Amino acid sequence: MTKPMTAFTTDFQHSGMIARDLDETIAFYREKLGFELAGLYLNGGNRCAFLRYGHLTIETWEGEEAPMAAGAINHWAFDTPDIEAAWENAKELGLRFKETGIQSIPTFWKKGIRYFNVYGPNGETIEFCEIVK
């Protein structure tokens, strides 16, 4: 029986936005707003930072052009402890996928991440992300 995707997630994980200047973005969120730098990683030749304040985590990265306008949030992500089960359920629900399969970035966190993205009804990107344990 197909279930809503909340059956395969535990919580909101992060929101993502492209940084015009990653160092400036990190400094602003840390020094002006009081966020902590939870992680700084390489993804290919570009850097990606995770900034955290309480329950809110922002993923921000360099290497793409930042929109520099309202609506600059790139995606929402949900904690997904079983990415394969979530993938299968998303297929059964008929969700529109951004990729053709589960993706991975081995350099994030201690053992990497596995994820996939779907499109919402407004063209928004919704990520389902498993932090590999």
What's the pLDDT tens digit per position in 13-58?
999 999 999 999 999 999 999 999 999 999 999 999 999 999 999 9
Q: Using pLDDT thresholds of 50, 70 and 90, give the confidence band for residue 88.
A: very high
Query: Could you give all domains of the chain from N- to C-terminal order, each with its CATH number?
Result: 11-131 (3.10.180.10)
Sign of torsion over alpha carbons 87, 132, 46, 15? positive
pLDDT digits (tens, 9 = 90+) for 107-127: 999 999 999 999 987 789 999
Q: Cα(22)–Cα(26) distance, rounded to whole angstroms?
A: 6
